[in-house]
Every structure is written in structure tokens, then in C-alpha cells.
């Protein structure tokens, strides 16, 4: 279901596992679900870290890397690619995308 994937932190793999767990067809719409299925999905999603909780955790992890002075933290602080991408050429896109000041 695409509606599950609209949550930050729930991707294709997680949503397909949830649908398989509760025997829901992937093309089924939210309005077609039974009340029990909706309650089961909300119970599982409330236990997971999604949306603002996950965003806050990611930002805290990056902040911790910066405070400890690791290589990855310095790359985040400078706005450069963190995971070993090429920087001699074609650096415009990573510099644009690797911004730290993201909104919650």
C-alpha cells in the first residue's frame, strides 16, 4: 500500500512485510480494510519509530558525529559527501543534498 510508504521511515520493504503479516492484499485501499486490520496496523506503527521521532534520532546521530569530531561528522559539517563519493568532479548534487539544517 502506498499509504503506508507515505510515513517517514516506512519504505517498500517494511510496508510489504506489514501487509504480509496481516494478510492484506498490496493493491487494497485503506477504505476497504476491516476495523481490526486498521487497529492492528496502527498498533504496530505506534510501536515503530516513524515521522518526527525518527527524524529527531537521525539529527541527533549526526550531531553526535559532529561533536565527537569523526571524519563523517566533519563531512556533514562541511556539507560534503559522507559515504566516500567522488568529489573531484560532479560534486554539485551532493553538496546541495547534504544540508544539515533540515526541518522537523
Q: Dig out the grid coordinates for 58 from the structure.
A: 537521525
For the chain, the domain total comes to 2
* pLDDT band at residue 61 under the 50/70/90 scheme: very high
Task: Tell me phi and psi for residue 24, to 5 degrees.
Answer: -110, 135
Give yes or no: residues 43 and 9 share one domain: yes
In 3D space, the residue among 39, 50, 49, 48 whose CA is nearest the CA of residue 7 turns out to be 50
Q: What was the pLDDT predicted at 2?
A: 85
CATH number at residue 39: 1.10.8
In a domain, 102, yes or no: no
Task: Compute the mean pLDDT over every residue in the chain, rounded to the nearest whole number.
Answer: 88
CATH number at residue 68: 4.10.910.10
Average pLDDT over residues 4-27: 94
Asked whether the predicted pLDDT for residue 11 surpasses 80, the reply is yes
Asked whether the predicted pLDDT for residue 7 surpasses 70, the reply is yes
The whole-angstrom separation of Cα 62 and Cα 59 is: 5
Q: What is the pTM of this model?
A: 0.74
Q: What was the pLDDT predicted at 100?
A: 59
| Residue-number span of the structural domain to which 33 is assigned | 2-47
- Contact between 46 and 53 under an 8 Å Cβ cutoff? The reply is no
Amino acid at each position: 500500500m502506498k499509504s503506508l510508504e507515505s510515513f517517514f521511515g516506512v519504505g517498500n520493504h517494511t510496508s510489504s512485510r506489514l501487509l504480509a503479516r496481516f494478510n492484506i492484499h498490496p493493491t487494497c485501499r485503506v477504505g476497504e480494510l476491516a476495523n481490526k486490520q486498521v487497529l492492528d496496523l496502527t498498533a504496530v506503527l505506534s510501536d515503530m519509530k516513524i515521522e518526527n521521532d525518527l527524524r529527531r534520532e537521525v539529527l541527533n546521530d549526526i550531531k553526535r558525529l559532529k561533536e565527537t569530531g569523526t571524519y563523517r561528522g566533519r563531512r556533514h559539517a562541511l556539507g560534503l559527501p559522507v559515504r566516500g563519493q567522488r568529489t573531484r568532479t560532479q560534486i554539485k548534487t551532493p553538496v546541495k543534498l547534504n544540508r544539515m539544517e533540515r526541518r522537523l
